Each structure stands twice: as C-alpha cells, then as structure tokens.
Amino acid sequence: MEFFNFHTHQFTNQPDILELVNQYPQEFNAAIPFYSVGIHPWYIVGDRVDADLKIIEEKLQTNNCLAIGECGLDKRIEIPLEQQIIVFKKQLALAEKYKKPVVIHCVAAFQEITAIKKEMKISVPMIVHGFSKNAQTANQLIKDGFYLSFGKYLLRNPELKTVFEQIPNDRFFLETDTVEESIKQVYNLAAEYKNIRINELQDIISVNFKTVFQNEALSKF
C-alpha cells in the first residue's frame, strides 16, 4: 500500500491505493474489496433501521469490512436528533461487539458525540471524517481520543492549513470523500503543509493504519 484513502464514495481500483469505500446497507456492492458500512444520519428510515442494522452486523463479521460508518449526528437535517442518537448508539454497540473502528459524520454535534463516546465507554478507534473546524475543536477531539481525517476541506479551504500543521502525526488520516481530486493530490498537499516528503507521509499514514485497522486480511499491506 503506497496510499490509503480513509473515506471515499468512489471505488477506483488502483493497485497502489487501498480504498476504504463507504457503503450503505441497502445499496451494497460485494465487488468492492474493502469497505465501511453504516447508517448515515441523512438516510435514517425509521421502519428500516432494524433491517439495516442486521445487514451491518452480518458485514462486520467479514474481513473485508474494515469499519462501521459513516454514522453519527447532524444537527442541520430534519431527522430528529433524538432518533439519530438512538441509531448512532446502536451502531457503536456493534462496533464494540466486533471490534471495528468507526467512521464518524458530525455536523454541529461534537459535544454530543464526545459525551456518547464517554457514556458508552467506547474502546474502538473513532475517526471524524472530513474535518473542517478550528484548532480548538481539533485539539479537544484529539484530547478526547478521536482521530481526524482530512480531505475535501483541506483542498478547498487554505485556512485549514494552520489546523492541519498542528495535528499530531499519530492522529490523522487522509481521504477524498466525494471530490474528484485523487488521494495522491491530497497526499501532495498534506506533505507540503507538514513540510515533509511524500514517503515520510506515507510512512506516517501506514503506521496509523496498522494501529487502527488490525485485520488479518490486510497483512499484505
């Protein structure tokens, strides 16, 4: 593995890139080699939650499923936060049961997610994807045990440079999410911001990957 794309909605099948492809229970593609699967807060359907959770639990028992998610909380959508919390907690319980990391979607709800992590005593790694906030929020999340993944906003918002520079090397990942730019472009910018060579960045991500994703199927990487 030369490059690891922590979160993407587009499977590109390149030999030098390991992609953690986001999948949904009802739109599952078995041809994708490595993936995360979860109920995104945008797509919670009340009478389908149990069926979705059953599919997720089945997938979590396979080596190809590296993580649960993306899942989390979003205060800017119409689905009631209380309902989101119930669905999120059920997915966290599955993550704990099967010892899988969690890909977090969070919009304006960092306090709630941190409180739930503490309340449920979550021991598996939790990674906030698509991080775009300020240094204070980043530092607090890291203090509370989260990892942060950067991609779209790192490419789009130059002001995020000063935040990313300060992130400890053992607490971040890189991703493309839904953007058209490649993970290699994200790596190039991240290396520039960190003032290190690409191969040094690759080593950092590789160590973080092995720390978070302890999976026999990934031993060749």
Q: Which residues are annotated as a binding site?
A: 70, 105, 129, 177
| Paired tokens of 13 | 């099948």
Q: Which residues contact 46 (CB under 8 A, 6 or more apart)?
A: 83
Annotated binding site for a divalent metal cation: 70, 105, 129, 177
The percent helix, strand, coil of the chain (3-state, each to 5) is 50, 20, 35
Question: CA-CA distance, 80 to 162, in Å (whole number)?
Answer: 34
Residues 219 and 210: their CA atoms lie apart, in Å, by: 9
Taking the CB of residue 15, how many other CB atoms lie within 10 A of it?
Answer: 7
Helix (H) or strand (E) holding 141: helix 135-143
